[in-house]
């Protein structure tokens, strides 16, 4: 399911890799480092092609597309389903917890497991395939019981309020949004995430705007629902300039139970300002192995105050836990020295190697819109990049047409020739 990137000499609780990779290593603070110089130089060559393409086409259209060699043979829905593979194990345990606070902490653990899985994604040179309008995915996880998975992609503009800063977040029509529905025994995961990548200096920052909701269904009817807002996933040092690239997590993770007025804010300090330059604002990886890497708080929050701020349009910048504006009283403190290792009141929580992964399994029967019927994905998984590239081009043209824009043409001014269908 994932590329196993851990090195052998890590002091932190983690999974044991099936195969060791010589080009990747893991720092003590959990960051994944790529020290394969030849691969990084090849990546520079591909990025140079992007710049040349954009420079030659900036007056024709504003879209920027990655070279085919930097596209993964994984769909967006498969990318998300890999991230949720700890859900059945963690949330199954939460079902048996009658206490809302203990359930809340297990939902927080599920949220951090998503970040743990993000660091396994081998995407230094890859990104998931952008979905076409209405593309679906049907599958399931098996862990004691069966959890059904359904996802559907769409291109639609919408907005929502950030759970921490209270700013209005606008998702544009051209961004791929995936609606997620997972139904397990006694719990449900729903919501939507949008794949958004942008540059911050020499860092490619991947944000997943949107909210996930975890709902526990009780026999007594006292359902508990917890919302999750994820931080940023960063590919640092994307251009090779003599330093290795790194995978890290940066920004706030927010988990909220509005019914019980419980909130958790966890700040991941993966990026820091370059300390060697007084004038530059360049952000560089925070490679320190310190318990300041992860700082968080679980607290009772003032819901009425938050609603008043939203109504008045007031927003906040949260740099440290001291900037939190809605704390009624503190419950428990969170800290950690790695991007996927944390403690609650000095009790370790990241026992990933003792948890069972539930590999996502595609359903045998699926709708015609299922990702398995995408010709470009089929050819790429067969290893035929030529036909995969042709089909990807046609899929992209169709996606643009579905969004109400003009279909792009090839360099010769004609639509690409349609190859023979795979199935």
pLDDT at 217: 82
Torsion (CA) 406, 410, 412, 416 in degrees, nearest 10: -100
What is the average pLDDT across 89-111? 89
Q: Does residue 112 surpass a pLDDT of 50?
A: yes
- Position 47 scores a pLDDT of 59
Report whether pLDDT(33) > 70: no
Least confident piece of the model among 21-25, 60-64, 396-400:
60-64
| pLDDT over threshold 80, residue 242 | no
Tokens representing 49 are 């092609």
Distance, in Å, from the CA atom of 42 to the CA atom of 48, rounded to the nearest integer, reads 10
> 150 — phi, psi (to 5°)?
-140, 130
pLDDT at 407 over 70: no
pLDDT at 387: 82
For the chain, the average pLDDT equals 77
CA 307 from chain center: how many Å? 28
CB 393 within 8 A of CB 374: no
The fraction of the chain above a pLDDT of 90, given in percent, is: 35
pLDDT of residue 225: 94
Residue 331: band (very low, low, confident or very high) from pLDDT cuts 50, 70, 90: very high
Q: Is the pLDDT of residue 64 over 50?
A: no
pLDDT band at 138 (very low <50, low <70, confident <90, very high): very high
pLDDT value of residue 398? 73
Predicted confidence (pLDDT) per residue in 298-315, tens digit: 999 999 999 999 999 999
231-254 average pLDDT score: 80
Rounded distance between C-alpha atoms, residue 122 and residue 146, angstroms: 28
pLDDT of residue 163 exceeding 80? yes
Helix (H) or strand (E) run with residue 78 in it = helix 76-83
Mean pLDDT of all residues in 182-206: 88
**333-386, pLDDT tens digit by residue?**
999 887 778 899 989 888 888 888 888 998 888 888 888 888 888 887 788 878
Query: With b meaning 16 or more CB within 10 Å and e meaning fewer, what string describes 21-37?
Result: eebbbbbbbbbbbbebe
Distance from C-alpha of 112 to C-alpha of 416, rounded to nearest angstrom: 43
Structure tokens at 109: 């653990």
Q: C-alpha distances in angstroms, 72 versus 106, 120, 357, 389?
A: 32, 14, 22, 12
Higher pLDDT, 53 or 252: 252
Average pLDDT over every residue of 379-398: 79
What domains appear along the chain, each with residue ranges and CATH number? Answer: 24-31+69-362 (2.40.160.120), 371-398 (no CATH)
Please, what's the largest Cα pairwise distance for the chain? 66
């Amino acid at each position: 399911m994932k590329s196993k990137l851990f090195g052998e000499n890590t002091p932190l609780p983690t999974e044991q890799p099936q195969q060791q990779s010589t080009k990747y290593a893991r720092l003590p603070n959990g960051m994944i480092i790529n020290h394969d110089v030849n691969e990084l130089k090849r990546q520079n060559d591909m990025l140079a092609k992007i710049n040349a393409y954009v420079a030659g086409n900036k007056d024709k259209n504003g879209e920027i597309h990655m070279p085919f060699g930097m596209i993964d043979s994984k769909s967006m829905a498969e990318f998300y389903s890999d991230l949720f593979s700890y859900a059945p194990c963690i949330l199954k345990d939460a079902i048996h917890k009658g206490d809302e606070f203990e359930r809340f902490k297990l939902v927080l653990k599920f949220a951090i497991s998503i970040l743990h899985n993000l660091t396994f994604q081998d995407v230094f040179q890859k990104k998931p395939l952008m979905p076409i309008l209405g593309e679906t995915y049907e599958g399931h996880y098996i862990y004691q019981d069966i959890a059904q998975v359904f996802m559907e992609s769409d291109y639609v503009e919408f907005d929502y309020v950030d759970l921490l800063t209270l700013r209005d977040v606008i998702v544009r029509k051209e961004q791929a949004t995936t609606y997620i529905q997972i139904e397990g025994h006694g719990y449900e995961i729903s919501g939507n995430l949008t794949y958004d990548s942008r540059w911050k200096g020499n860092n490619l920052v991947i944000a997943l705007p949107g909210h996930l909701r975890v709902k526990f269904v009780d026999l007594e009817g006292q359902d508990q629902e917890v919302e999750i807002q994820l931080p940023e996933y960063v590919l640092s040092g994307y251009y090779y300039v003599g330093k290795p690239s790194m995978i890290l997590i940066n920004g706030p993770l927010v988990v909220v139970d509005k019914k019980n007025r419980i909130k958790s804010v966890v700040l991941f300090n993966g990026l820091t300002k370059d300390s060697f330059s007084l004038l530059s604002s360049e952000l560089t990886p925070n490679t320190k192995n310190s318990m300041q890497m992860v700082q968080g708080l679980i607290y009772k929050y003032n819901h009425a105050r938050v609603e008043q701020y939203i109504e008045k349009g007031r927003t906040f910048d949260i740099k440290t836990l001291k900037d939190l504006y809605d704390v009624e009283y503190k419950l428990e403190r969170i800290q950690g020295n790695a991007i996927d290792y944390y403690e609650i009141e000095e009790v370790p929580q990241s026992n990933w190697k003792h948890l069972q992964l539930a590999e996502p399994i595609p359903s045998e029967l699926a709708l015609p819109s299922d990702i398995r019927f995408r010709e470009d994905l089929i050819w790429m998984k067969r290893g035929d990049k030529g036909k995969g590239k042709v089909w990807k081009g046609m899929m992209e043209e169709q996606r643009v047409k579905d969004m109400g824009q003009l279909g792009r043409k090839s360099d010769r001014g004609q639509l690409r020739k349609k190859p023979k269908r795979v199935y």
